[in-house]
């Protein structure tokens, strides 16, 4: 926790200095009655807004991570949860198409915290989208199937794949290859899945894509 807090403080401090500096420069330009004030204002505002968004996402990632332990389990339909996450991404993603293959499964009852289950798949799908280069047409395929007493969900992307040298690190808190990443997503996902006695693993091929698998226990009614 101490390490994590240090890292968060560092991530927050990083953008503060350039933010302060650019406001000061803007203030000076105003005092000097610089002729291009409008462009300056435009530029500085844009940068500051971007920095604020970064800070805000760092704060949410950290607080999501901190909120973790209290699971309030109930009988939930995994298909239903997946559908609502996928729908949300469909509405908000431009260059990516989403498919949901249910393999004949109508309802998939598990005993889990709905909020946490949504978080798991939101994270996996968000990572899938982010792994796809901007200039490429994205395709994310989500499947659900039943294997003995487990439901197995897969989230497959046609992104960059995961480099060999980082394969061992991706579930480690703080590990990220993204400039604005916090590296808490997969650590949290793994924690949630394993706390619910599930399993998570992945397969990846460089430049072809990655598939994450999550297995969760079938809830048999008494
Ligand atoms: P973040 O998204 O903040 O980087 P995560 O813990 O969710 O944190 O992911 C850690 C790292 O794992 C990412 O920075 C990325 O390098 C790698 N990763 C996760 N999912 C994928 C994926 N679908 N394809 C390629 N790399 C991935």
Q: Would the CB of 182 count as within 6 Å of ligand 1? A: yes
**Residue 135 CB coordination number (10 Å):** 6
Tell me the two tokens of residue 217.
């226990």
Which of 219, 170, 212, 214 lies closest to 192 in space, CA to CA? 214
Residue 151 bridge partners (DSSP): 146, 216
Read off the pLDDT of residues 160-216 as tens digits, 9 standing for 90 and up. 999 999 999 999 877 888 877 777 789 889 988 998 899 999 999 999 999 999 999
157 band by pLDDT with thresholds 50, 70 and 90: very high
pTM of the model: 0.77
Token pair 């915290």 is found at 113
Provide the greatest CA pair distance for the chain.
Answer: 77
53 has which bridge partners? none
CA dist 45 and 23 (Å) reads 9
pLDDT (average), residues 24-30: 92
> Mutation test of ligand 1: which of 186, 201, 208, 209 has the most ligand atoms closer than 8 Å to its C-beta?
186
Pocket of ligand 1 contains residue 162 by CB under 6 Å? yes
3-state secondary structure of 142: strand
């Amino acid at each position: 926790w101490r390490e994590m807090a240090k890292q968060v403080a560092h991530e927050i401090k990083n953008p503060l200095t350039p933010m302060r500096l650019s406001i000061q420069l803007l203030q000076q330009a105003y005092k000097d009655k610089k002729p291009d004030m409008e462009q300056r204002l435009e530029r500085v505002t844009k940068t500051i807004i971007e920095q604020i968004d970064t800070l805000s996402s760092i704060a949410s990632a950290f607080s999501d991570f901190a909120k973790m332990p209290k699971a309030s389990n109930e009988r939930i339909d995994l298909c239903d949860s997946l559908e609502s996450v996928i729908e949300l991404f469909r509405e908000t993603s431009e260059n990516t198409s989403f498919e949901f293959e249910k393999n004949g499964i109508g309802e998939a009852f598990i005993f889990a915290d709905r909020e946490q289950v949504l978080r798991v798949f939101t994270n996996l799908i968000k990572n899938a989208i982010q792994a796809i280069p901007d200039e490429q047409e994205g395709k994310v395929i989500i499947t659900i199937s039943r294997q003995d007493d487990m439901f197995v969900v897969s989230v497959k992307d046609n992104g960059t794949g995961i480099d060999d040298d980082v394969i061992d690190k991706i579930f480690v808190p703080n590990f990220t290859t993204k400039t604005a990443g916090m590296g808490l997503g997969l650590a949290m996902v793994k924690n949630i899945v394993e706390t619910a006695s599930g399993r998570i693993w992945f397969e990846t091929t460089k430049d072809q894509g990655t598939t994450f698998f999550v297995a969760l226990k079938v809830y048999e009614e008494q």
